[in-house]
Amino acid sequence: MNLEDKGNINDDKGDIDGKNIKKICVIGLGYIGLPTASMLANHGYEVVGVDIDSKRLESIKNGKLKINEPGLMTLVKGAINSGNLKVKREPEEADAYIICVPTPVIWKENTPKCDLSYIYSAIDSIKPYLHNGNLVIIESTIPPKTTEKIFKYLNKKIYMAYCPERVLPGNILKELVENDRIIGGIDKKSAKLSKEIYSSFVDGNIYLTDPTTAEMVKLMENTYRDVNIALANEFAKICNDLDVNVYEAINLANKHPRVNILNPGPGVGGHCISVDPWFIVEVSNNAELIRAARDLNDSMPKYVCNLIINEFKRMNIPDPKISIFGVAYKGNVEDTRESPGKKIIECLMSNGFNVSIYDPYVKTFDYPLEDLEDCVNNSDGILVLTDHEKFKRFKKRDILNIYNSMRNKIVVDTKNILNHNLWKKIGFEVKLLGDGTSWRGKSNK
Ligand SMILES: NC(=O)c1ccc[n+]([C@@H]2O[C@H](COP(=O)([O-])OP(=O)(O)OC[C@H]3O[C@@H](n4cnc5c(N)ncnc54)[C@H](O)[C@@H]3O)[C@@H](O)[C@H]2O)c1
């Protein structure tokens, strides 16, 4: 739908322009809301950051929030010290509201669905404070047509827009400023008012459209990644069967000028790529490839687990202990949401493995974390699941220490990040996901 075509449905909402927006309430102070609120505060807006998690609010206020995002706490402290950012549990009257609460997927009778309960409770919490002419922006990832539904649900003379977030965890502050933004306004003025706000700190281009297109754009971006990762993962399984090294094959295929195959891995985690494609599946019966890609990526933890089980059976290792390197869902972050590592650990434990876990980036996890020394002590194998920089940078001395602590000397690298020649030279047997030649026993599931 073209915004120009939608007429002046806002005529009786009260006349505001961007310059009248001085006070903004940001609802949800997580990975997205906190940097956004701080950025706005540092660019002159009076910002009220709202979160229902009191402990989080306390640690933000006293500067002790433990979040492994470069530069974030400096930005937050600057915003609080400037007096422009205050954080609290309840919203208050403001000119604009930005919603950044979680939108996980839930499964009901084998059908995935976006859990919009956080969105609606955030919307209900601001409803009593909304006046004619206020602006409500949703940043959380939502299924197509949700913004329109919420607009109708609110049933107020307000402006409204959907402005999806596209930042990369680990690089949030840079991308918040540099990335292009898409704004889907419920009408032209909503889009323009929202643009005014984001222009205060965004250096990238800001494109205006309608909400359903903007919702679809966000989902298409992550689905594009998911489907392409699924293809790489399928290639890895096939190459494993054929005794071909998938990385060599990908590298050679990518010499083609119009081919760019991604790298395979132990599964797709995080709260975006592994979740968002389901929001398209939820609204359309035509999302067949998208569903298949999701299922394929979700099959990878079991596939990796079976590779390990078969290999250890062949080697006849009694009471095996395996050391997991990395449970964050991706490299150099502390975030373990939807991590394939958790599924692999549970699969290995239920198949009689003793599992120890080392992740120097992660602070809390569902299973105990150990330091490197304890993790590899008397272990029979290392299973690398995350491409952390620290793993890539293991020196000869570190690898020798690991070697001397272990009972059997096997390394399974599902991310192709270790210096394999060095590990082999020291005496390790190195196995690679997607390289059939490195495995003694194979899994076809
Ligand atoms: N993290 C990312 O990299 C990223 C990137 C793009 C889009 N998104 C999307 O942005 C949204 C937020 O993600 P996030 O990673 O910041 O989540 P998060 O879990 O880190 O933070 C959400 C915060 O919202 C708070 N909250 C929940 N309900 C609330 C309510 N009713 N009122 C006030 N606070 C409430 C929670 O306590 C939490 O602190 C999600 O839809 C996500 O899919 C995230």
Give pLDDT tens digits for 287-345: 999 999 999 999 999 999 999 999 999 889 889 999 999 999 999 999 999 999 999 99
Tell me, yes or no, whether 295 and 428 share the same domain: yes
Of 174, 209, 244, which marks where a domain is finished? 209
Instruction: Please report where in the chains the tokens 């390197």 appear, as a residue.
Output: 325
State the pLDDT at residue 443. Answer: 44
pLDDT value at residue 437:
85
395-401: average pLDDT? 97
User: Does a structural domain hold residue 56?
Assistant: yes
The CATH number for 152's domain is 3.40.50.720
Instruction: Let me know if residue 21 belongs to a domain.
Output: yes
The angle that helices 211-242 and 288-315 make with each other, rounded to 10 degrees, is 30
pLDDT surpasses 90 at 441 = no
Give a yes or no: residue 92 inside a domain.
yes
Strands in 315-419 per DSSP E: 321-325, 354-358, 381-384, 410-413
Active site residue 218: yes
Residue whose pair of structure tokens reads 């000869």 in the numeric block? 396
- Residue 258 included in any domain: yes
How far apart are the CA of 101 and the centre of ligand 1, in A? 4
Mean pLDDT of 360-386: 97
Question: What radius of gyration do the chain's Cα atoms show?
Answer: 24
Report the candidate in 319, 308, 317 with the shortest Cα–Cα distance to residue 343. 308
Co-location of 281 and 316 in the same domain: yes
Judge whether 21 and 193 are in contact, CB under 8 Å.
yes
66: confidence class by pLDDT, cuts 50, 70, 90: confident
User: Could you tell me if 240 and 185 lie in one domain?
Assistant: no
- Catalytic: 156? no
- The total domain count for the chain is 2
Residue 139 and residue 240 share a domain: no
- 238 and 116, same structural domain? no
From 92, 165, 275, the mutation candidate for ligand 1 (largest count of ligand atoms within 8 A of CB) is 165
Q: Quickly list H helices, 182-337.
A: 188-199, 211-242, 246-253, 276-283, 288-315
25, 38, 51: residue to mutate for ligand 1 pocket, most atoms within 8 A of CB? 51
Query: Tokens in use for 58?
Result: 């306390």
**Domain membership flag for residue 216:** no
The closest residue, in CA terms, to atom 44 on ligand 1 is 32
Euclidean distance between CA atoms 115 and 112, whole angstroms: 9
Looking at 218, 321, 343, 415, which residue is catalytic? Answer: 218
Asked whether residue 181 falls in the same domain as residue 269, the answer is: no
Q: Is 30 in the pocket of ligand 1 (CB under 6 A)?
A: yes
CB of 309 sitting under 6 A from ligand 1? no
List Cα–Cα distances, 55 to 89, 103, 107, 130, 268, in angstroms.
10, 21, 29, 27, 30
Residues 431 and 343 in one domain: yes
Give pTM, 2 decimals: 0.91
Which run of H or E residues covers position 46?
strand 46-50
If asked whether residues 41 and 180 sit together in one domain, one would say: yes
Residue 110's CB: how many other CB atoms inside 10 A?
Answer: 5
Q: Are residues 245 and 200 in the same domain?
A: no
Spell out a b/e string for 216-233, using b for 16 or more CB atoms within 10 Å of the CB, else e.
Answer: bbbbebbbebbbebbebb
Q: What confidence score (pLDDT) does residue 12 get?
A: 53
Q: Is 31 in the pocket of ligand 1 (CB under 6 A)?
A: yes
Residue 9 reports pLDDT greater than 50: no
Q: Which whole-number Å values give the CA distances from 375 to 220, 326, 351, 362, 370, in the listed order?
A: 40, 11, 19, 14, 6
Residue 209: pLDDT over 90: yes
pLDDT of residue 3: 53
H and E: helices and strands count for the chain = 16, 15
Q: Which of 153, 177, 209 is the last residue of a domain?
A: 209
Among 209, 241, 276, identify where a domain stops.
209
Asked whether residue 191 falls in the same domain as residue 250, the answer is no
* Boundaries of domain holding 394: 233-438
**Residue 384 backbone phi and psi in degrees, to 5:** -85, 120
In a domain, 344, yes or no: yes
Short-list 32, 37, 91, CA closest to 61: 37
The reply to whether 199 and 288 lie within a common domain is no
Q: For ligand 1, what atom is nearest to the CA of residue 118?
A: 28
In this prediction, residue 445 carries a pLDDT of 39
The pLDDT value given to residue 151: 98
Identity of residue 227: V
Cα–Cα distance, 135 to 118 (Å, whole number): 19
**Residue for token pair 């190459």:** 239
Residue 124 included in any domain: yes
Asked if residue 380 has pLDDT above 50, the reply is yes
Residues 361, 388: contact at Cβ < 8 Å? Answer: yes
What pLDDT does residue 14 have? 65
Task: Indicate which atom in ligand 1 lies nearest the CA of residue 166.
Answer: 6
227 found inside a domain: no
Could you tell me if 293 and 168 lie in one domain? no
- Gap between the Cα atoms of 67 and 368, Å rounded: 19
